[in-house]
A and B are shown apart, each in its own frame.
Chain A
Amino acid sequence: MSPGRAWILALLVASLAWPAAVLSQDVQPDAGTAAVGQEAEPPPVEETDRDALTDPEEEELDARAAEVASGLRCPVCRNQSIVESNAELSREMHRVVRDKLAAGETPEQIEAYFVSRYGEWILLQPQARGINLLVYGLPVVALVLGFFLARNRLRKWARAEGAGGTEAAVDGAAELGADDEQWLREALREG
């Protein structure tokens, strides 16, 4: 396969992967568009922080809550988790996560709760199912395909080198169109 065709094939794979990646994100509302006709960020509201926690069990619960919450998107920010965000709504969502964990719910149940309310967009990492599988699968396919393309190309070049340099390289270009071949021969002659 010529380098030109390898490029075309790589483009084909990329063009398939791109819409899949866009789709997985775009089926969910963007934080920017969510604020259309709305005011997403409120003025600062006084909040009473929880008391400093020293109990190991509480600390462990906090750590688990932070882990679950780090996978949930802040609804009023751009690509921030509810752990990173200082928005009032995010902090309350974080507390909801903690309360639900304390009530014995699993991280999966908590994620399912937020997905049922906000849609899958609320998850920072798309779930590996349905059309989302393309996002996970196509990069691997592209990588494997690229590996084989590169290997074949290198082997061809190695064979051409072994068979006697530039003439062989020109022979190796037998798959080129007649015009290209003519141009290549003239270029080699001039060079």
Chain B
Amino acid sequence: MKKNQLRWLLPLAALPILWLLYWGMGRDTYVLPSPMAGVEAPAFQLVSFEGDTIKLADLHGRVVILNFWASWCIPCRAEHPVLVQTERTWDDTEVVLLGVVYQDSRANAERFLNQYGGDWTHVFDPSQRTAIDYGVYGVPETFFIGQDGQISLKKVGPVTWDLVQYQVDSLLAAPVAAAGVGGAGGAP
């Protein structure tokens, strides 16, 4: 190997490292990549506090905000006012806010709601199969589902009002496909 060759070999060896540094520093570590965005929302059939069976397929044609939460989860308290505001802003004929109680008891969930307010529907996922079907890591996690049943965004961590407003406005403005049944796969 000639000395001339070394002259370009050394910078060349540094290139992958520099590229890795550039790539690592340029990305937002708070954004978790998820394969769920852009796919059809998995179907579910869960029972609400009131004993009603809620099916995703029945909500087709409306924007659905699916929020996994628990009373023991501190960030869920932080985002709760945003969800209260969401419920007040849109009519449920347009936008359905659905809380999925995750690894929690009914008594604790109800105590939480009595304390912090919120009249939207909450369902239980006792086996966590729906949570697994949605690729949930922990709570809070929120899925924005369009009128066509496609997930537009999975938000890990507390939602902000700006995010909700942007997502819902975009989904309401999006053209609705004529056919299609909400729900793919389904909880095992």
Q: Cβ of A88 and Cβ of B156 under 8 Å apart?
A: no
Complex Cα distance, B102 from A12, in Å, reads 49
Complex Cα distance, B137 from A81, in Å, reads 14
Minimal Cβ-Cβ distance residue in B for A5? B1
- Asked if A56 CB lies within 8 Å of chain B CBs, one says no
Minimal Cβ-Cβ distance residue in B for A41? B138
Q: Cβ of A34 and Cβ of B137 under 8 Å apart?
A: yes
Nearest Cβ on chain A to B72's Cβ, whole angstroms: 6
Top 7 A-B pairs ranked by shortest CB distance? A37-B157, A40-B138, A117-B135, A42-B103, A12-B13, A29-B32, A19-B20
- Which of A5, A36, A96, A117 gathers most chain B CB within 10 Å? A117
Q: Cβ of B35 and Cβ of A118 under 8 Å apart?
A: yes
Q: Cβ of B188 and Cβ of A100 under 8 Å apart?
A: yes
* Size of interface on B: residues with Cβ below 8 Å to A: 48
| Residue from the list B12, B75, B132, B156 in contact with A117, Cβ < 8 A | B132
Q: Cβ of B36 and Cβ of A42 under 8 Å apart?
A: no
Quick one: CB contact mask for B54-95 with A, threshold 8 Å, 1 for yes? 000000000000000010111110000000000000000000
Complex Cα distance, B16 from A41, in Å, reads 37
Quick one: CB contact mask for A1-45 with B, threshold 8 Å, 1 for yes? 100010011011001101100110011110001111111111101
Complex Cα distance, B157 from A9, in Å, reads 45
| Residue from the list A12, A33, A115, A177 in contact with B12, Cβ < 8 A | A12
Q: Cβ of A43 and Cβ of B140 under 8 Å apart?
A: no
Nearest Cβ on chain A to B109's Cβ, whole angstroms: 13
| Residue from the list A22, A88, A96 in contact with B103, Cβ < 8 A | A88
Q: Cβ of B128 and Cβ of A92 under 8 Å apart?
A: yes
* Size of interface on A: residues with Cβ below 8 Å to B: 44
Tell me which residues across on chain B come within 8 A of A99, comparing CB atoms.
Answer: 188
Select the stretch in B2-10, B116-124, B164-172, B175-183 that faces chain A. B2-10
Tell me which residues across on chain A come within 8 A of B32, comparing CB atoms.
Answer: 29, 33-34
Complex Cα distance, B70 from A52, in Å, reads 32
Nearest Cβ on chain A to B29's Cβ, whole angstroms: 6
- Asked if A93 CB lies within 8 Å of chain B CBs, one says yes
10 pairs of residues in contact across A and B, judged by CB atoms under 8 Å:
A8-B9, A9-B9, A15-B16, A36-B30, A38-B141, A38-B156, A39-B76, A75-B137, A117-B35, A117-B135
